[in-house]
Amino acid sequence: MYLLGYIPAHNRVYVADKDMGIFSFSLSLTLVEYQTAILRGDYDTANELLPTIPNDQRNKIARFLEAQGQSRPPRPEREISSESDLLRFYRPQGDGSASCY
């Protein structure tokens, strides 16, 4: 596979195989930026990016946070996962924070 490029307007990476067949893969730059901010511990930036991430990517965020062993999501879990993936792991508190089971 040979990387041809990334087109941000399409959120797609384009690659070609050795027979010059062209393929594209979805890659949300905003999701990558969000994950990078979480790994750096920059929760302010992560909170700014979260509203710009499409709803269909929210489950990826939930799985990513789970894999990182986050004891506390940067925002309430009801805003992160549309399928409540994190509700299995986090118990919301009255002050808007969450604690781990």
Domain limits of the chain? 2-100
Q: Cα separation of 33 and 44, whole Å?
A: 12
| Three-point CA angle 3, 30, 38, nearest 5° | 110
pLDDT for res 5:
94
For 42, the token pair is: 């920059």
Residues 9-33: pLDDT tens digits? 888 999 999 999 999 998 888 899 9
Q: Which residues contact 7 (CB under 8 A, 6 or more apart)?
A: 14
DSSP label at residue 79: G
pLDDT for res 81:
53
